[in-house]
A = this chain, B = another copy of it.
Amino acid sequence: MLKIIKSIKILCYNYSMENKIKIGLIGLGTVGSGVFKTLQNFENIEIVKIAVRNKNKKRNIEGLDESIITDDAYEVVNNPEIQIVAELVGGIEPAFDLIKTAVQNGKHIVTANKELLAKHGEELFNFAEKHNKVILYEAAIAGGIPLIMPIKTILAGNKINKIKAILNGTTNYILTKMDTQDASYSDVLKEAQELGYAEADPTGDVEGYDAAYKITTLATIAFGKRVKFENVYREGITKIRPEDMKAANEMGYKIKLIASAELNRNGKADVRVHPMLVPISKTLAHIDYVTNAVSLSGHPVGDVTLSGPGAGEFPTASSVVGDILAIASEIGKTDYILPMMRCGHSENAQMIDISLTENKYYISITTQNSMGVIGRIGKACEENNISLASIVQKEVGEGNCAEITVITELCRELDMQNVINIFNNDPAIESVNSLIRVQI
């Protein structure tokens, strides 16, 4: 039985281990510190080695024995005592090689590395499977939100066919601030950078890479088919204007960066990250600031939404520790280990290119002189099989200009691109300001 000290209690794990389970940590930054502190509460789990980048850095972590710290991460993965390695540094290399070395040395892996999983998940999982080891990664997607383990266990009787999710806290913070403060993207980004919610180079977040890494792995586990990262469509939030926020609000929507994955009737996967107008009747419309949320649709369960902190020292530690405890509870069994935790997807998902999808759209257009323009907009749409759900024209700039807001019915992406081309070549149309997809 696992003995517990301090305030944390293991609830229903029933540990058959009699010896301490030996853990190695790679990384002692924000997440690593949270994991270290949380594991201090478990008497039968021992951290025997921690790899850091800079050994001489001053660290104020209670209970940390400096003698177990190394700046050579291979001392962790090659340590014969260690049974579970938690990789918490991120990026492709050296994480990729470290994990493979650890697996080869007989260790199970817990990782929060979304980029590595998205780009090399197939190779990693196959490699672990070959060595009869597992790689768990609850913390890599949506931080502290229970997601991957529930999909693998209590939702295992389901065929999940749709995911709509807010998986990036930085962009959700920026969009929420733009909405509530009627502020521009660049102003809010600056503020977010000052507060530490956005990095100095914000590309990974604001261009949707981070969310795309996460939805790649999430769709893979939810659909049971391997989704390739390079086939995931990606569009960021840098072009969203406060005017779009305002127009969306007036029509009953919120603009969110949505990571989306759907299986169509033929079993083909449509996986993407882009801004969307989300109807305020949906739970996702009310997920604000750095909170993350994942809505799953499947049969028999129907629609389920899981929300919570998508990042941060302790929320992420919750998931890393949850995975460590899950493995720890199985170590020492003589039988085939870890029945619930394997992931060998041999089948690749057939993917649909976004150009072949159907979507509903919001379009914002500025015209210099609106005489006849509404008619030409209507005609262009009609000739391209696009029905309009609504069209609103407002005078701007003392009546010299008009801003026209259009919401379409469901139509083909290719047809929409044609229409945008026509608009761009219409001399009366000064600019197509925004083209944002609308959630149905």
Spell out A's residues near B (CB within 8 Å): 7-16, 34, 37-38, 41-42, 138, 144-146, 148-159, 221-222, 224, 283, 286-287, 298-309, 312-315, 317-319, 321-326, 329-330, 333-336, 338-343
Contacts and interface: CB of A to CB of B under 8 A. Distances in A.
A301 B314 contact: yes
B318 A158 contact: yes
A222 B146 CA distance: 14
A322 B286 contact: no
A376 to B, nearest CB: 41
Contact of A138 (B149, B154, B305, B335): B154
Given A16-B339, A151-B11, A335-B334, A157 B304 contact: no
Contacts of A146: 146, 150, 154-155, 304, 306
A322 B154 contact: yes
A224 B9 CA distance: 7
Q: Report which residue of A159, A312, A339, A341 has the largest number of chain B beta carbons within 10 angstroms of its beta carbon.
A: A339
A301 to B, nearest CB: 4
When all copies of this chain in the complex are counted, the total is 2
Which 6 pairs show the lowest CB-CB distances between chains A and B? A157-B321, A300-B314, A304-B308, A154-B322, A301-B318, A146-B150
12 contacts: A8-B159, A11-B343, A12-B343, A13-B153, A16-B339, A146-B155, A148-B154, A154-B322, A283-B307, A301-B308, A304-B307, A306-B307
B304 A152 contact: no
Contacts of A8: 157-159, 299
Contact of A150 (B34, B37, B150): B150
A400 B401 CA distance: 55
A92 B153 CA distance: 29
Contacts of A313: 300
Given A11-B151, A42-B157, A306-B306, 13 more contacts: A11-B156, A13-B340, A14-B336, A14-B338, A14-B340, A144-B302, A144-B304, A302-B308, A302-B312, A302-B315, A303-B308, A303-B309, A305-B308
A68 B342 CA distance: 35
B159 A221 contact: no
Nearest to A286: B286
A221 B342 CA distance: 26
B14 A339 contact: yes
B340 A314 contact: no
Nearest to A305: B307
Nearest to A320: B157
Contacts of A308: 301-305
B156 A224 contact: no
Nearest to A16: B336
A324 to B, nearest CB: 8
A155 B13 contact: no
Nearest to A148: B154
Contacts of A302: 144, 308-309, 312, 314-315, 318
